[in-house]
Amino acid sequence: MNPSSKTSATILGCLFFAAITVFGYQIQQTATDVKALDRTVTVKGLAENEYPADIVIWPIQFSAASNDLDAIYSQLESQSKLVKQFLLDQGIAESEISMAAPTVTDKLAQQYGSQGNVEFRYTAFEVVTVYSKQIDKARAAMKNLSLLGKQGIVFTTANYDLKTEYIFSQLNQIKPEMIEQATKNARLVAQKFAKDSDSRLGKIKRATQGQFSIYNRDQTTPYIKKVRVVSTIEYYLAD
């Protein structure tokens, strides 16, 4: 082999060795990077705020009893007018008041009724419902409902399906703010974890938003709602 061929072979060998070295370093570096990307921490961020309800559904049920069918309908009609006028006087708009058809029961017509001990053959009830955004006026009217009781109207409260209900309908308006709060709280937890583990907090790998829940603050203040959401976020960790 002549000198020029030996020189070319030597150069080619050096280049090949250099290429192998660079390629091996790149593989090692890639493996290191992949391993670093595997280091994550998953945290949860809570946001919980209180908001006043903005809609009230208030069913007012009253009853009557008589042995005369015409008389009981007349009694219910008179009572419903008194209830409606009372609500108007309390500042409730007429458009926010609705009246259901009365329900009348003939005790003597009941299959298992005791006909011998019936004081009143007919019993009836009617429901007037307030659907209003005027929470304060409605609550004030509830406190004054005894004024109607003094006029001989008998109210019934045993029906569980006719409980007063308070609604918070502005969830879509507060969602962005609460999601931001939950995300910030999650990041604070992740930063504390990274600090305690001598790491740096990286970017978000994945995030999931929990469902929003709305419930009463407590049993005595159903017109104040608690809105809650929990976000779950996974962050990368780096040295």
Written as one string, the DSSP assignment of the chain is --HHHHHHHHHHHHHHHHHHHHHHHHHHHHHHHHHHHT-EEEEEEEEEEEEE--EEEEEEEEEEEES-HHHHHHHHHHHHHHHHHHHHHTT--GGGEEEPPPEEEEGGGSTT--GGG-S-SEEEEEEEEEEES-HHHHHHHHHTTHHHHTTTPEE----GGG--EEE---HHHHHHHHHHHHHHHHHHHHHHHHHHTT-EEEEEEEEEEPPPEEEESSTT-TTEEEEEEEEEEEEEEE-
- Structural domain contains residue 128: yes
Domain match, 214 and 111 both: no
Instruction: Give residue 6's pLDDT.
Output: 52
CB 153 within 8 A of CB 79: yes
Digit-coded pLDDT (tens) for 101-117: 999 998 887 756 555 56
- Reply yes or no on whether the pLDDT at 143 is more than 70: yes
Of 142, 167, 192, the one marking the end of a domain is 167
Q: How far apart are CA 159 and CA 127, in angstroms?
A: 11
Number of domains in the chain: 2
Is 195 part of any domain? yes
Whether 27 and 213 have beta carbons less than 8 Å apart is answered as no
Alpha-carbon distances of 49 from 10, 37, 223, rounded to whole Å: 75, 35, 14
pLDDT above 90 (res 139): yes
Say whether both 60 and 154 belong to one domain: yes
Mean of the pLDDT values across residues 15-36?
A: 47
Q: How far apart are the first and last CA of the chain?
A: 54
Are 154 and 220 members of one domain? no
Please list, in sequence order, all residues whose beta carbon lies within 8 angstroms of the beta carbon of residue 139, skipping any fewer than 6 positions away: 56, 223
Based on the fold, state whether residues 153 and 205 are members of the same structural domain: no
Other beta carbons within 10 angstroms of residue 60's beta carbon come to 26
pLDDT at 1: 54
Q: What is the DSSP letter of 197?
A: T
44, part of any domain:
yes
**Residue 236 has what pLDDT?**
94
pLDDT at 28 over 60: no
Q: Identify whether 89 is part of a domain.
A: yes
Are 204 and 233 in contact by the 8 Å Cβ rule? The answer is yes
Which residues, including other chains, have CB under 8 Å from residue 2's CB and lie 6 or more apart? none
CATH code of the domain in which 79 resides: 3.30.70.2970
Q: Quote the pLDDT of residue 196.
A: 92
Q: What is the pTM of this model?
A: 0.75
**Domain enclosing residue 133, as ranges:** 55-167
Mean pLDDT computed over 63-68: 92
Nearest to 76 by CA among 128, 40, 130: 128
Is the Cβ–Cβ distance between 194 and 200 less than 8 Å?
yes
- Do both 182 and 202 map to the same domain? yes
